[in-house]
Structure 1
Amino acid sequence: MDVVTIGESMVLFTPESSPLMRYSHTFSRKFGGAESNVAIGLARLGHRSGWISKVGNDEFGKAMVGFIRGEGVDVSHVTFSDEAATGIYFKEVRRANDVRVEYYRKGSAASTMQPYELDPSYIATSRFLHITGITPALSDSCYETVKKAVEIAKQHGIKVVFDPNLRRKLWSEERAREVLLELASLADIILPGIDEGRFMFGVDDPEKLGNLFLQNGSALVILKVGAKGAFYFTEKESALVPGYPVEEVVDPVGAGDGFAAGVLSGLLDGISLDAAVARGNAVGAMATMVQGDFEGLPERSEIERFTQQTNLEDVHR
């Protein structure tokens, strides 16, 4: 396995007849979750990805697992709960810069994940363990499960990749900051956004944030700065990798997951760090052009076509 990730995915309902839920009588049903989005993105790029989770033993859970399996992701370590239901959320895309999400996930099946349910041999077969700051926010047992997964990865020399993916509605700011900093200190690679860096350290200067994350324990920091692209920082070098221009942002949700998938794909392929971050920028940009959390995640040939068609002079200006 190239990448194993762990976290909750939910059933996603989006209004069809009106952007506002109050006026909509019909909804489209899809699926979404940061970790499974990354796994799907990697599978589309030709990598072997596995998703660890728990869903309800209900029709939504069965449909979700079947769908993600159909996207080429290994779901052999997803379990079903007879006591808790699959989580649900609703997304209103009022405008590209006004996307509103309402979660109905409290007490969901995924929130009951336990450390003892992890199979150490499964994580040990991967090259990267991908985690986010969403899963530990779901419950104390989820926090302990993520910590256990990181411990297993460390024991077997597996690199840990951490996307803070801050969700303020899920926990208090104090607890969120404490856990995100703790997981960042355990991660080999961290993928924060500029807003998450500000939340965690109280500063928003990219260079200062890069150094703070390095001092906190990460060996590689890749700091997303929106349309401008992303900075990367190591002990030896740092640089800004420009983003790709997007004429119209249709749906920004899932862009960060696409970025993570693109960067991990580049690292798995052994290309330069600059090129890996550029691939992340390209996948993230393409994800914003299509409505849905993962629907816009490209296959490898699509990335090549997109980057060739993009005016590189504009990108690097």
Structure 2
Amino acid sequence: MPASRLDLVTIGETMLRLATPVGTPLERATQLDVEVAGAESNVAVAFARLGYQAGWISRLPANALGRLVVNRVLEHRVDVSRVLWADRTSRLGLYYWEANAAPRPGRVIYDRADSAFAHIEADDVDWAYVRSARWLHLTGITPVLSDSCRRLVERALDEARRSGQAVSFDLNYRATLWPAEEAAQSFHEMLEGVHVLFVSARDTRTLFGLDSSPEQQATDLAKRFQAEVVAVTLGAQGAVACENGTVHRIPAVDSTEIDRLGRGDAFVAGFLHGMEKGGAERGLRYGAALAALKQTYRGDIAWTTAEELEAVVNSNEPQIDR
């Protein structure tokens, strides 16, 4: 795929998700369903399925597991030509997902230490390819995985700033990976000037001590990081976005939950799609709709087409609070 055709590039680790059937504890599991899962590749796949040209950069072991991952991403027409290949004996990250029904929460166990991606080096990335895309999407998961991963994110942000590339950043804070104080300090150092910042209301309180309304949280974060748009997600209560000082709010779109993992990544892809159509207000509408649709698919990927998304957006016509 010619680099000039790219609308979005993402960089990040993709793992195998090994999941129990709903209601089966991991300690008594006799079988596990295999899915490919990674925040950045989830966004690239969802965006590509909406009709855009998306590329994904990662580092994988040169063995059957690495090929499994890259083929699953490639089947959605995401460009994987700049994926880096490590030695065949290197590790692919895994996570185990115990899917439970209320009131028992779902449970995640990570097995990703010392993975092939954790050893990625910024100098090995094709930065001309990255800069060729209109959007660069990153998440707050990557910098905690290793020192080299942190340098990778810092380099990516620096390249984007120098070239004028639009940056989308999803904080995606994982308390199991690093303490809140360390994460907050890292984000303060990284995020100034990103174009679109995604964060949950809970993470806004945990990381930045902002215990105000979601509307005020979005406004305060936009000022703090000089971001053009900040989207604060509220789960079942919808989402809020502050765009250049103007705040919009939208309720969630009702859906029947089959698998909730990956809905935040679907929101990101839908939001960027809506932004392409006309700003943060439409971003909220499309983000909420795609997040709802994602919950109806098993696995982390939103298998939605642009036509299906448009139908849900048009059928809901949610009320916007300004």
Q: Same fold by TM (over 0.5)?
A: yes
Q: Once the 2 structures are TM-superposed, how far is the Cα of residue 113 of structure 1 from its aligned partner? A: 1.1
1:258 is aligned to 266
1:61 maps to 66
SS of residue matched to 1:249: coil
2:284 matched residue in structure 1:
277
What is the rounded CA distance, in whole Å, between the counterparts of 2:236 and 2:254 in structure 1?
Answer: 7
Q: Against the structure 1 CA distance between its residues 213 and 316, is the aligned structure 2 distance closer, same or farther, given a 3 Å change threshold?
A: closer
Map of 2:3 onto structure 1: none
The answer to whether structure 1 residue 212 and structure 2 residue 220 are counterparts is yes
Q: Which deviates the most, 76-85 or 143-152? A: 76-85
Report the number of matched residues. 312
So what's the TM-score if we normalise by structure 1?
0.93
Q: Distance in 1 between matches of 2:175 and 2:108?
A: 12
Q: How does 1:298-313 map to 2 (within 5 A)?
A: 298-310=304-316, 312=317
The aligned counterpart of 1:203 is: 210
Matches for 1:290-305 after TM superposition, within 5 Å: 290-294=297-301, 296-305=302-311
Equivalent positions of 1:38-53 (< 5 A) are 38-53=43-58
Higher mean C-alpha deviation, range 67-76 or range 211-220: 211-220
- Please give the alpha-carbon distance, in whole angstroms, between the structure 1 residues aligned to 2:182 and 2:245: 32
Residue 238 of structure 2 is aligned to residue 233 of structure 1: no
Q: Tell me the alpha carbon deviations over residues 64-87 of structure 1, each in whole angstroms, 9 at most, x when there is no partner.
A: 111111111111111111152111
Superposed CA RMSD: 1.8
Unpaired stretches in structure 1, ≥5 consecutive residues: none
With 195-204 and 29-38 compared, the bigger mean Cα shift is at 195-204
Q: Between 169-178 and 62-71, report the one with greater CA deviation.
A: 169-178
Q: Which residue of 2 aligns with 1:95?
A: 101
TM-score by length of 2: 0.91
Task: Choose the corresponding residue for 2:26, options 1, 21, 24.
Answer: 21
Tell which deviates more after alignment, 76-85 or 9-18.
9-18
AA of the residue aligned to 1:276: G
Deviation at 1:241, TM superposition (A): 2.2
Equivalent residue for 2:41?
Answer: 36
Cα displacement (A) at 1:277: 1.5
- Structure 1 residues 300 and 45 mapped into 2: Cα distance closer, same or farther (>3 Å)? same
The sequence identity of aligned pairs, in percent, is 31
Preserved CA contact (<8 Å) 2:90 2:115: yes
Partners of 1:16 and 1:132 lie apart in 2 by: 29
Deviation, structure 1 residue 229: 1.7
Change (3 A) 1:265 1:235: closer
Seen in structure 2, the aligned counterparts of structure 1 residues 308 and 267 have a Cα distance that, compared at 3 Å, is: closer
